Amino acid sequence: MFKNYLVAALRSMARQRLFSAINILGLAIGLAACILILIFIRDEVSYDGWLPGAENIYRVEMMANIPGRDRFVTSQSMPPLKDAFLTDFPEAQTATRLFYDPVGVTAGDRSFLDSFMFADATLFEVFDVPFLEGNAATALADPNSVVLSETMARKYFGQGSPLGKTLTIVYDVARDYRVTAVTKDLPNNTHFILDAVIRINPADFLTDEGQNQLERWGSISFYTYIRFRQGTDLTAVGERLNPFMDRHFPTSITDRMNMTGSELFAPKLVNTRDIHLYGGERGTIKPRGSVATLIAFGSIAGLILAVACINFINLSTARASRRAKEVAIRKIVGASRRELFVQFQSEAFLITGFATLLALALVELALPWYNEFSQKLMAAQFAGDPVVQVGLLGLLVVVGMGAGAHPALVLSAFRPTRILGATTSGGEGSKNLRTVLVVIQFAISIGLVIATSVIYAQTSYARNFEPGFIRQNMLVLYGIRRNEVKPVADTLVEQLRRHPDVLSVTRSGVVPGDSGWVHFSVRRPGEPDNQSIVMSQLAVDFDFFKTYGISLIAGRSFDPARSVDIFQEDDGSPQKSAASAVINMAGVKRLGFASPEDALGQVVITVGANQTDLTIIGVVHNAHFELARNTAPATVYIVERDDTGPITVRFKSSDLPGFLADIDRMWNDLVPQIPISRVSLDQNLTALFAADESRGQMLAIFAGLAVLVGSLGLFGLSAFTVERRTREISLRKVMGASVSNIVGLLVWQFSKPVLIANLIAWPVAFYFMRDWLDGFAFTIELGPRYFVGAGLAALFVAWVTTAGHALRVARSSPIEALRYE
């Protein structure tokens, strides 16, 4: 029985090659897109699931509620939190802190600048990662041990076991470390990076004044991970988190804000497996995933599949009359409707099966490119993964049913007498449904095209945003605060200034595009500490505004001739220190001055252990250091040489490689032991949007695929319609219609659904895109051009796909068609 079905199906497919090809190709492209998206989603939700005991490992994150700033969640916490937590929560079995910082590494005669993990000795008690050499118990037993991943071990030592070999690692001071273990490279779907680990050395955290930074609750700089005992009631633990914070957080900080510790920073436990998608958005180790993105991509996968299924339904029901005779004969020889339904449904499964095979081949071809694109490594998880296999089978069933059920119902319902007796054929009744489905297809395509163009426009707007400072032809040099560089920093700056291509040089605490902004609290004179206001603080030197092209609105800039312009930390002398400050317009507003001029000469006082009077000498325009993402925060600029780090060089150069070589040479002459670390400011800023951009491109590609699949279907459907109307068209021609009349008539038939589709797609797309744009501080205007543009594009696609058929039939001699009838 099934053999007979199979034979009939295969031969009927072979007979109607164009339609079979469109059906299979359309479904295959749709399925391939869907599989790619599902692989992406699967990868995103699988983070850290491989980690043994992941269910018991939690990261302590902080929900920050700093007055005057938007609330945010940071994935980092305070250095002393770990020990306090272990003391207060017996449920915690063990815990570790960790952070990442670049260090200079010397292996033999080669030097590197690499990011290392600094962790507590308990790191591998928390994270049970696989070891190639050495073991978890002894890996970090010694303060001077270093653990390398297999890739890093190869990088430093080549082939052969690195155990026992020595690395000289420079972090403030140079120390020798012995390799004690090699870990397997962690899978890509891990939220943290384990390239190279050394232990946190308390000696590195003593300030010149002898303060231990590891005891500071005011610093949020470490990741804290807790491993709870099996069976711990996390709800009970969660209830005790806020009191815990209130107990430990220093009142010296909270009192002046009139808040409790947990009101300022509420701790939150996030399970390791949830970190990638639900962890704090700030200070992440790797770029965070987003549930919204997953939902968006999942919906797109569904929409593309819907478009492909609609093709199948439309082409099958449109061509049903071709199979009508077969249905009639089968019924006459005794086939029941159920048997026929099974037959046609099996055919749909057969076609879906072919399409799935083709889709798998397409996926296999696309994966390398796709991995690069989404910055993932998903090939390995794809083939043997039972979840993927089950998912694939489910997809096949859903698509086979979705695409095949309706045509099978229609076909199996044909009455034999009507087909064999009369000349009218079946399938006419589905015409309205077909039109509705074509409208839906186009609405989906138009909606996706609108979304894509809006996202593209916004991303490019944000990337090219006029930020209020110069971003082109700016070079940033990092690593200036390192101990080897610090002594020669001034010399370096001087040498840079003397280069003929250099226009201006400055140093600042951070540069645009970086994290690590410092905040402090200030208050107006006469106001109590608890009325203080939190502002961003940026340490700069005298040439900062000049180099960055940030213009003054009122007052003056810093002047090297006036010693009062230089900020001095309170040295403990009874006299209060004083300094000059420049604020931005957001600062003027935040501090409550009526105008920039009003702010001049006013004093604000820094709040905390070291109180300094800051006299506002100038007001500058807002500079958007995070580009369009956030509004510029209220900022205080001060001149504080000790707090400045990276050097920014503004240059004009017709020979960039030559210029960069000069800079490199300058650096190497001064600090040969450490490789230069430089980046263009524009790159640094653009990196902020790398994730957005790659998502945008993915969306564009999938939207393009949806349109392609839809137009494939329209192509098939128009071929069919034109064929069906051949006789009518011939009669019209006999009556005197011109070729253009005929083409117009047919093209209009397919333009109508597109126009109706716009009416559906526009409001839906508008709603979703406005919602998306709301996440940005500065946005493009959601004007009509995106909508009209997408509509016109869809119309154009409809015309191109249908005009060919229309033209062919319009040009043919009418006699042929009529004689044929």
The C-alpha atoms of residue 768 and residue 731 are separated, in whole angstroms, by 48
User: Of 199, 276, 319, 331, which one interacts with other proteins (CB under 8 A)?
Assistant: 331
CB of 421 to other proteins, least distance (A): 6
Question: How far apart, in whole angstroms, are the C-alpha atoms of residue 572 and residue 766?
Answer: 60
Q: Which stretch binds other proteins (CB under 8 A): 73-81, 187-195, 415-423, 461-469?
A: 415-423
Binding residues for other proteins, rule CB under 8 A, total: 26
x-or-dash string of contact with other proteins, 484-523, rule CB under 8 A: ----------------------------------------
Work out the burial of residue 312: count CB atoms within 10 Å of its CB; fewer than 13 is exposed, 13-18 middle, 19 or more buried: buried
Interface with other proteins (CB under 8 A), residue from 18, 141, 173, 332: 332
298 lies in the site for other proteins, by CB under 8 A: no
Q: What span, in angstroms and rounded, lies between the C-alpha atoms of 478 and 684?
A: 12
Site string for other proteins, 7-36 (x = CB under 8 A): xx--xx--x---------------------
Strands 57-64 and 265-271 turn out to be antiparallel
> Least distance to other proteins from the beta carbon of 810, Å?
29
Instruction: Report CA Rg, the chain.
Output: 34
User: Does 319 participate in binding other proteins (rule CB under 8 A)?
Assistant: no
807 interacts with other proteins by CB under 8 A: no
Token look-up 């119902």 returns: 409
Closest CA to 47 of 390, 381, 391, 388: 381
DSSP 212: B
Candidate residues 238, 243, 368, 421; the one interacting with other proteins per rule CB under 8 A:
421
Per CB under 8 A, the segment of 65-73, 330-338, 514-522, 674-682 that binds other proteins is 330-338
The interface mask with other proteins, positions 612-641, x = CB under 8 A, is ------------------------------
User: How large is the angle between the packed helices 690-724 and 431-463, nearest 10 degrees?
Assistant: 150
Q: Which of the stretches 2-10, 196-204, 295-303, 666-674 binds other proteins when contact is defined by CB under 8 A?
A: 2-10
Q: Is 6 in the site for other proteins (CB under 8 A)?
A: no
Q: Provide DSSP, 599-649.
A: HTT-EEEE-SSS-EEEEEEEEE----TTTTSSPPPPEEEEE-GGG---EEE
Q: Is 328 in the site for other proteins (CB under 8 A)?
A: yes
Task: Please enumerate in sequence order all residues whose Cβ is within 8 A of that of 600, keeping only pairs 6 or more positions apart, or say none.
Answer: 554, 555, 616, 617, 618, 619
The residue range among 336-344, 472-480, 650-658, 744-752 that interacts with other proteins, by the rule CB under 8 A, is 336-344
Question: Is residue 248 a contact point for other proteins (CB under 8 A)?
Answer: no
Which is closer to other proteins, CB of 375 or CB of 424?
424
Binding of other proteins by 339 (CB under 8 A)? yes
What are the C-alpha distances in Å from 253 to residues 23, 249, 753?
A: 68, 8, 65
What would the two tokens of residue 108 be?
A: 């033999």
Task: Write the DSSP string, 352-391.
Answer: HHHHHHHHHHHHHHHHHHHHHHHT---HHHHSS-HHHHHH
Closest separation between CB of residue 331 and other proteins, Å? 7
Closest distance of CB 332 from other proteins, Å:
5
Would you count residue 409 as binding other proteins (CB under 8 A)?
A: no
Q: How many CB atoms lie within 10 A of CB 421?
A: 10
Asked whether position 416 contacts other proteins by CB under 8 A, the answer is yes
Q: Is 1 in the site for other proteins (CB under 8 A)?
A: yes
CB nearer other proteins, residue 328 or residue 392: 328
Nearest residue to 207 (alpha-carbon basis) of 569, 509, 567: 569
The binder of other proteins chosen from 69, 256, 282, 337 (CB under 8 A): 337
CB-based contacts of 522, cutoff 8 Å, min separation 6: 532, 533, 535, 591, 604, 605, 606, 607, 614, 636
Q: Which tokens in the block code for residue 467?
A: 């930020």
The single residue among 420, 661, 734, 759 that binds other proteins, judged by CB under 8 A, is: 420
Find out whether 452 and 444 touch, Cβ atoms under 8 Å. Answer: no
Closest CB to other proteins among residues 383, 420 = 420
* Binding residues vs other proteins (CB under 8 A): 1, 4, 7-8, 11-12, 15, 325-326, 328-339, 415-417, 420-421
